[in-house]
Amino acid sequence: MQKLPDELIEKFLSGNCTKEEAALVWNYLRKNPDESYLLKEFEQEDGEAPLPEGYREEMLAYITEMTPVAPAEKKVKRLNFLWYGAAAAVILVICKMWLLDRPAMKASGEHLASYEAPKTEWITESNAGKKEIMVFLPDSSKVRLSPGARMLYRKGFGTIANRDVQVSGKAFFDVAKNQQRPFTLYSEGLQTSVLGTSFYVNANPYSDKVSVKLFTGKVRISLDDSTSKRAYYLEPGQELVFSKSSRNIAINGPVKHTEDHIAKAHSLKADTISNWYMFNNQRLADVFDQLSAIYNVDIEYSHSEIRDMYFIGKLEKKDSLNEIISDIAILNHLSVTTSNGRYIIRKGKP
């Protein structure tokens, strides 16, 4: 076989050749085990950093098995010696590359082990005084924080990050319009999304009720969890009140509803309820009328006092009427008294 260029053999021994070149050189060295480059490489590599125990023998056995040599009888000892020398030299080249790569692999592993996903950074604004304070957000939105209120917004708010805000306590928001970045407020279990509007939120962590009242624009409100995908939309003048314990929602406001949105009084009977029934933003008067029919009791109320009150809630068959009426009363600032089995509903505290 024609002698290969020294440069090509050097590339092979240094581990810098292509797969095609490696195959060519390997075949040449296999047929020319007395090549001086192999003996020189073998001598130079002797004394390199120690390899893992058994690694050299394992590689040599593998190469011997995959590429057996059948030397002539008269040169058995010489060829065997030189063949193993050639194989050993190749092994040392491979092992040297392995040893050189090992620190990089270790560093890479250490880097991956120490990597942590970037954490969201929040900026905090608190009102520890006795008067309201005004906070100007980076997107030009304005927030009036009441005494004791606390607000967090994301670093890079409105520029590189979404307009996400967390609030605890009472606050009034005048939100700057930005169609590309909706404004989302998280407050004690409620999620309020707006594009540009003004609204008031009361999210006391020590109170069962959370309320959002809209002044201008339009807002979309949903429960801040994965159990419900239902959304509630407020129009100016409406207020949503949410009970954290019962998960019921009431909407109060001056918006007039058509007959299609109002359930007919006494349309339900107790024996027609399976396991639950949903009141979907119905007038409170109609809710009381339906409860009266379902539970076969008298519920007395004043139409003028609850005229602009609405209720959204899920009625479970297992719920007692006392619990249901009590929840509705708390959400709407009503008082409840009983007399001879009759429920009497009045506006304000008892």
DSSP structure string for 90-154:
HHHHHHHHHHHHHHHHHHHHHHHHH--PPPPPEEEEE--SSS-EEEE-TTS-EEEEPTT-EEEEE
Q: In whole angstroms, what is the distance from residue 168 CA to residue 134 CA?
A: 16
**Mean pLDDT (10-residue bins), the chain, 350 residues:** 68 65 70 57 46 49 48 45 50 47 43 50 92 91 92 84 88 86 87 82 90 84 75 84 88 53 37 54 82 82 86 74 87 88 83
Q: What is the strand order of the sheet 299-300 is part of?
A: 299-300, 342-347, 334-339
CATH annotation of 259-347: 3.55.50.30
- Within 239-346, residue ranges assigned H as helices are 284-295, 321-331
- For residue 350, give the DSSP letter: -
Enter the CATH code of domain 122-245.
2.60.120.1440
Same fold, 122-245 and 259-347: no
pTM equals 0.43
Handedness of CA 74, 78, 82, 84 (dihedral sign): positive
Q: What is the pLDDT of residue 93?
A: 52
**pLDDT reported for residue 43:** 43
Domain ranges of the chain: 6-114, 122-245, 259-347
